[in-house]
Amino acid sequence: MRQISRGTGDKGLTALADGSRVSKGDKRVEAYGTLDELNSFLGLFLSIHKNTIVKRIQKEIFLLGTDISTPLSKKQVRITDEHIERLNEEIEGLEKSLPKLKRFILPGGSEAAALLHIARAVSRRAERSLSELHERGEINPKAFVYLNRLSGLLFELARKVNIETGGIEEEVTIA
């Protein structure tokens, strides 16, 4: 396990998982920093609402961050089709169990659901930060797909949590 060091990043560089050093402004660093933020919001959610799916996702986000922070030329455990398929199955299961949406809904409802909506928005930001690297073929393409599916799952989980906690989904009509 890597120890936290002090002073090695004072010149604006940080280490990737393979030990190479890049600017702290590098797209990879931006992406895995955003994943850290996402994971922190999920941790806050779990502090008020227990959910086994979210607990598993937290662990997968660590794998995703390591995947992204390791150049494709290096050997690394990566996000796979299996991870993506599990998210797809969970999304489908939730969609079947929830009322059909007729309009957009405002993020919110219960505190727990609102945290999942924040996590969803952070997940989308992480996805945007990876789009350029994805387009250039510099990251595992499955990592990009996983992140896209994850935001959908977090949306559906927020809806489910609102039902579980009595949170109200407020529909929005766009004129």
CATH of the domain at 131: 1.20.1200.10
Q: Is 18 part of a structural domain of the chain? A: no
Q: Is 10 part of a structural domain of the chain? A: no
Q: Is 145 part of a structural domain of the chain? A: yes
Asked if residues 62 and 126 have their Cβ atoms less than 8 Å apart, the reply is: no
Please give the tally of structural domains in the chain.
Answer: 1
Q: What is the pTM of this model?
A: 0.89
For tokens 């799916």, the residue is 53
Q: Is 6 part of a structural domain of the chain? A: no
Residues of the chain with pLDDT under 50: none
Q: Is 14 part of a structural domain of the chain? A: no
In whole angstroms, how large is the CA radius of gyration of the chain? Answer: 17
Structural domain boundaries, residue 146: 26-172
Q: Is 71 part of a structural domain of the chain? A: yes
Q: What is the pLDDT of residue 167?
A: 95
Give the bridge partners for 21, in sequence order: 15
Q: What is the pLDDT of residue 18?
A: 76
Q: Is 9 part of a structural domain of the chain? A: no
CA distance 49 to 34: 22
Say what the alpha-carbon torsion angle 59, 77, 18, 35 is, to the nearest 10 degrees.
Answer: -30
Q: Is 52 part of a structural domain of the chain? A: yes
